[in-house]
Amino acid sequence: MKSFMLLVAICLVGVTEGMPLHASCKANWTSSLKCTNVLDKLVGQIGQWTGPDGCANGGEKCLYKLVSRNTTQVKATHETPKKHYVDDLTFTFTQDTSKCNITGLSSSETWYAVLDYGTNYCNLHNLIVGSGLDKSPGYSETTSNSICTQFTSADCSKY
């Protein structure tokens, strides 16, 4: 009963603080690269971080799994190495004349997850940085605590 009351209290704080009610993150990026190139870079990075190698020294740049891909969307999962929680990731791509708009969403499969120490943000951010997209021409990122659980306190060197 105490656990349930704590969960209710956290949810109420989340509503008043303007944060998501479930551990998740939505972020948007732009790049001057073609969306097909962006998609290929992200899929390649997921492939590089499929195994446990990136889990060394407490990191979480590992245990990604490609679920599906088509010309406008990539779906994947990320498993946390210590507790084995699974988060669902979706990247959606929209090509403008001069840029690719990318929307990323990471959401915990654990129904009761409310706070995540920025893990869902790091799930997305680490793939963007690992693939080098943050260095691409015209790169920008937009998100906030209201759509990304604990975004401002995320430590992506850890998660």
pLDDT at 111: 82
Q: Half-sphere exposure (CA, 13 Å, Cβ side) for 95?
A: 11
pLDDT at 153: 92
pTM of the predicted model, to two decimals?
Answer: 0.87
Average pLDDT, the chain: 89
User: Does residue 2 lie in a domain region?
Assistant: no
User: Does residue 141 lie in a domain region?
Assistant: yes
**Domains contained in the chain, number:** 1
User: Does residue 35 lie in a domain region?
Assistant: yes
Residue 53 pLDDT level (bands cut at 50, 70, 90): confident
Residue 3 pLDDT level (bands cut at 50, 70, 90): low
Residue 14, pLDDT > 50, answer no
Residue 12 burial (CB < 10 Å; 0-12/13-18/19+)?
Answer: exposed
More confident call, 112 vs 149:
149
DSSP assigned state of 154: -
pLDDT at 2: 56
Whole-angstrom distance, CA of residue 119 vs CA of residue 151: 9
Rg (CA), the chain: 16
User: Does residue 42 lie in a domain region?
Assistant: yes
Whole-angstrom distance, CA of residue 128 vs CA of residue 91: 11
The answer to whether 102 and 92 have CB atoms below 8 angstroms apart is yes
User: Does residue 158 lie in a domain region?
Assistant: no
Residue 28, pLDDT > 60, answer yes
User: Does residue 97 lie in a domain region?
Assistant: yes
In the chain, what is the straight-line distance between the N-terminal and C-terminal CA atoms, in Å?
30
Residue 8, pLDDT > 60, answer no
pLDDT at 18: 53
* Residues 131-154: tens digit of each pLDDT: 999 999 999 999 999 999 999 999
Count of CB atoms situated within 10 Å of the CB of 4: 9
Whole-angstrom distance, CA of residue 24 vs CA of residue 118: 9
User: Does residue 7 lie in a domain region?
Assistant: no
pLDDT at 1: 58
Which domain, by its residues, includes 123?
22-153
Helical packing angle, 119-130 and 35-48, nearest 10°: 110
Give the distance from CA 45 to its chain's centroid: 13
pLDDT at 73: 98
